[in-house]
Amino acid sequence: MGLYQEAAGIIQQVRDKRGTVKSLVLSHRRVKNTKQLYALVCETLKYSDVLDQVIDAVQLCKLEKTLQRRPLAQVVVYDLLIGKGLKSDGNLKAAVWKHKAALSAELARLKVRAKVASNEGLLPEHVRKEVPLPRYVRVNLLKTNVEDVIGHYESEGYTFDQCSNNYNSYEEYLPSVKSLMGKHFLKDFHLPDVLVFPPGKDFHQHPLYTDGSIILQDKASCIPAHILSPLPGSHVIDCCAAPGNKTSQLAAGMKNEGKLHAFDKDGARFKILKSMLAKAGVQCAHLHHQDFLKVSPLDKTYQDVEFVLVDPSCSGSGIVSRLNSITDKEDSTLTQRLGSLASFQASILKHALSFPNVRRVVYSTCSTHREENEEVVQRVLLETGGQFHLTRALPNWTHRGLGDFEFGHLCLRASAQQDYTNGFFVACLERCLGDKECLDCYHGDGDDKAQANQGNLNSMNTNVKRKQNPEEVVPHIYERNSDKKNCYQFSTKVVYNSGAMGELSTSKKSKKRRKLNDDCKKAEEKLQNSVFESKERNDSVPGSQNTFLLKSKKSCHKKRKRRKTKKPIV
């Protein structure tokens, strides 16, 4: 099958919502020049409205049997009138060549009617104003380091912006990205292993790319693995791993130490995953050609998994080059399709959270639709019964989630207009260690949270009634992030021999709401004294399944009120 037939087939599949342009092009291994195929498909989709008007005016599909398929006619006419000229010498070229004069005349008439001088002027305004994205290059730390890669490019005549190491704010950094031109490049503000080059730079044939030292990956796509950040030796799951960019990034962060389980059920994409990880030098990955949803969380193979990356299939509406505004135009099934995608995304996120020892799960999509993003997160948080909470992902990122969600400020969004990346969404969920009220955490709806935590409160009431031997108390102080907006300032955990753990936390909200009553103050002072008297003890803290809230300020306040009402009036 020739280039035009392959391109026409992909265009039809995109319109049938059977995949993104990128994924479909990568699956066509019979085409040697995938870059050429990708460009032909994207440009034909971009000009599809213009091409349809020209084809219909000439009645090309009726006159030529070989061009009765609309996508094929569009591809051939695009290359004849707008592209680089027909590359085929077969029947397709002969069929369209005899109509060249009529087709060219109709295209000229369209430009006269629209009062434009160029073909680009015929495109819709939102397509013409598409923001060209920088070329992001992630350094593969498994094979090299950032300094060596910078030096390599400098030896080729590129100029590195030394100021990129000293930007004080994201707002100060963005103008430098926008103004990148020629052979200038800089280091990314958020991701230390990512370099930024001007738009249009093609490094697919560069020796650093061919040997796996660099990976051409959009910045937004690098953020989820950066937020998950498993340490070397960790056990990690990448549940939708192909094509493998994020998987190789996780392996680099783990320094190839530990176990990285990578899943993908699609045969063609799984082959790409294997090839990509081999090229990147990944050695800690355990590849699984299967559906992640069919994996049992109780399987001993995954009993030590603490980190999961969930980057499921999505609409891809955030990918700038995917031309969603064109392919989704007047799509009456879009709402239904988003509903189906959201159901799948919620099910795979819930499944990831069901692994017994998982501590952190990062959920991401390359979609701009709320149905696939905030709504999925909200739904899963409510259904998991308060076991997990949202934490603020990448705090120094300014573009946050939708404001009409209570937890929107904890999520992360990216866009071409604001961040010079593809559109993206990221949420970070962590297991709750008791019923703690972090200043910048979200557990779900208040009523659901209260019900979900009732079991913990009952457990607390049972345990605090037990007689405790002071020698059985093993206090620990946890120094959390000093950023008051994102977490507790002070947290003291107490471990009893029975295996129960309590937590007494103090965090600043309004004075009226957060003021401790006298009883709570005394309890806290007593507990802190015991902490410092026993600070050299090193007993371990049990897992979160045995955690409970030792004494919340709210419960102290209620108990004090009850005592006051029962006190006889003198």
Please write down the HEC assignment for all residues of 37-80.
Answer: HHHHHHHHHHCHHHHHHHHHHHCHHHHCHHHCCHHHHHHHHHHH
- Position 506 scores a pLDDT of 33
The answer to whether the annotation marks 564 as part of a ligand binding site is no
User: Is 368 contained in some domain?
Assistant: yes
- Contact between residue 372 and residue 434 where contact means Cβ atoms under 8 Å apart: no
- CA torsion 361-173-248-392 (nearest 10°) is -10
263, 383: one domain: yes
d(C-alpha 54, C-alpha 73), whole Å: 11
- Among 35-39, 355-359, 471-475, 547-551, name the most confident range: 355-359
284, 410: one domain: yes
User: Is 456 contained in some domain?
Assistant: no
pLDDT in tens, 253-290: 999 999 999 999 999 889 999 999 999 999 999 999 99
User: Is 412 contained in some domain?
Assistant: yes
pLDDT in tens, 434-477: 654 454 566 665 444 333 333 333 333 333 333 333 333 222 22
From 128, 153, 185, the end of a domain falls on: 128
87, 164: one domain: no
d(C-alpha 60, C-alpha 95), whole Å: 9
CATH of the domain at 144: 3.30.70.1170
Q: Is the pLDDT of residue 145 over 50?
A: yes
DSSP state of 301: G
Position of tokens 């992630």?
A: 138
261, 408: one domain: yes
Distance of CA 72 to the CA centre of its chain: 35
The answer to whether the annotation marks 61 as part of a ligand binding site is no
272, 396: one domain: yes
User: Is 561 contained in some domain?
Assistant: yes
362, 330: one domain: yes
Q: Is the pLDDT of residue 190 over 50?
A: yes
Model confidence at 546, pLDDT cuts 50, 70, 90, reads very low
250, 190: one domain: no
d(C-alpha 38, C-alpha 530), whole Å: 66
CATH of the domain at 269: 3.40.50.150
User: Is 289 contained in some domain?
Assistant: yes
Q: Which residues are catalytic?
A: 366
User: Is 224 contained in some domain?
Assistant: no
Strand 259-263 with 285-288, pairing: parallel
The answer to whether the annotation marks 255 as part of a ligand binding site is no
The token pair that represents 481 in the structure block: 């992030």
d(C-alpha 299, C-alpha 551), whole Å: 36
- Position 567 scores a pLDDT of 44
User: Is 453 contained in some domain?
Assistant: no
Structural domain count, the chain: 4
Q: What DSSP string describes 114-168?
A: HT-SSSGGGS-HHHHTPPPPPEEEEE-TTT--HHHHHHHHHHTT-EE-GGGG---
User: Is 221 contained in some domain?
Assistant: no
Helices (H), 426-544: 446-464, 511-514, 518-533
From 191, 216, 241, the end of a domain falls on: 216
270, 202: one domain: no
250, 311: one domain: yes
276, 151: one domain: no
The answer to whether the annotation marks 240 as part of a ligand binding site is yes
From 128, 144, 162, the end of a domain falls on: 128
Q: 20: domain range?
A: 3-128
The answer to whether the annotation marks 291 as part of a ligand binding site is yes
237, 194: one domain: no
d(C-alpha 21, C-alpha 277), whole Å: 22
247, 359: one domain: yes
- Position 1 scores a pLDDT of 57
Quote the Cα angle for 47-53-57, to 5°: 145
